[in-house]
Every structure is written in C-alpha cells, then in structure tokens.
Chain A
C-alpha cells in the first residue's frame, strides 16, 4: 500500500502481510527492506501469555553506488514512518539491534536514539542494553507503550538483557 507521502520522506510499500515486509528506495536507488520478525520468545521466561514482540531488521538489499552510503535526510523519517505504520501501541513491542557488521553500530545507535527522543509519540517508552561482544558491543533497544499490558515484564526483560554478561 503506497502512501500519500509528504516531501520529507520517501514513498514506501508494505509488501508482505505474512512476513511484515516494507520497502523503500532512495534518490540514489539504494533499496531498503524493513522487516518485523516475530520474537515473542523473548518473553517466555516472564509471562504465559503471547506477547506481540517483533525484531525490526533494516536491510540494504541493493546499493548501486557500491560504497559507503552517503547521509540522506529522507531515510530516517521514512524508517520512522514505517515504524509507526506497523506499530500498534497497546499491542506491539519492537526490538532493534544496531548492525555491527561494519563497526559503525555506535553511530547507528546515536541516530536511532536521536530519532526516538526527537520525535517520540507521547506514550512510548524505550530501554537500551549495551553488551560486550568480543572486541565490539551489541547495542539493542526496545520500544513499547507505557500503557502496554506487559510493560513491567518488558522492563524486567531489558534489565536482564543489559546484565547478560555479568
């Protein structure tokens, strides 16, 4: 479903109700896929109910310029728009892990955090965990509504994830 999009972001399409797939392309024809992968297993140790948790995975599926992707002011608002298109505040929990494959996870984490604090919907809550992974860190964030029925289990989960190396 292509949207009627304002000029400060790219058009995007929802392309798979079973796999929760979104796509957008930039003016340099860099193609992104954003996928929301069901991840209720995160809550198995905390609650018997099913929790609609999803891992948000952002992938560059084609980069025709063949080198590091230059900063693009429309990419961040497009990903934010996709997030809000998918997110159902009283139902969903979203987990995001910063890609560390090129060692730039700290920059991505700052961007993600900046986006969150700049344009937060009023009732959303974010927690972060930062874990040593060899000579790098794994950085992850979780977002949900403060009114989510499993808010307290989410806080407990993230406290435990943040202390996983201790």
Chain B
C-alpha cells in the first residue's frame, strides 16, 4: 500500500501501521474464503503436512 510522498507525524505513521495490519488480516481471511488459487496452495500444504505427521 504505497502512496505519493507526504510528510507524516510519528503518531500518524503508527496509526497507519496498525490500520495496514488490521486491513491485511481482514483481507487474508477474505482471500482464503474466495480465492481458489490460494485454497489450492493451502490444500496442498495440508496434504503435505498430513503426510509428514502420519509417517
């Protein structure tokens, strides 16, 4: 999430870091629900994980 150069106070930067984190966490859950490519990546990881833990 980049923008044009704009001077910010330290407090504004911290607020933005927190906002970015919260937005990224919401988007992560949405991506998992709606993005078939991400679901495929995760299903493959689950499969590998399962195989490792049943060895």
Contacts and interface: CB of A to CB of B under 8 A. Distances in A.
Given A37-B20, A41-B3, A164-B14, A24 B45 contact: yes
B32 A160 contact: no
Interface in B14-47: 14, 16-18, 20-22, 24-25, 28-29, 31-32, 37-38, 41-42, 44-46
A45 B45 CA distance: 42
Contact of A164 (B11, B44, B49): B11
Indicate the size class of the contact surface on chain A: 35 or more
A59 B31 CA distance: 11
A10 interface: yes
A64 to B, nearest CB: 11
Contact of B31 (A12, A33, A39, A160): A33
Interface of A: 2, 7, 10-13, 15, 21, 23-27, 29, 31, 33, 35, 37-42, 44-45, 55, 57, 59, 61-62, 95, 97, 99, 101, 129, 131, 133, 138, 140, 160-161, 163-165
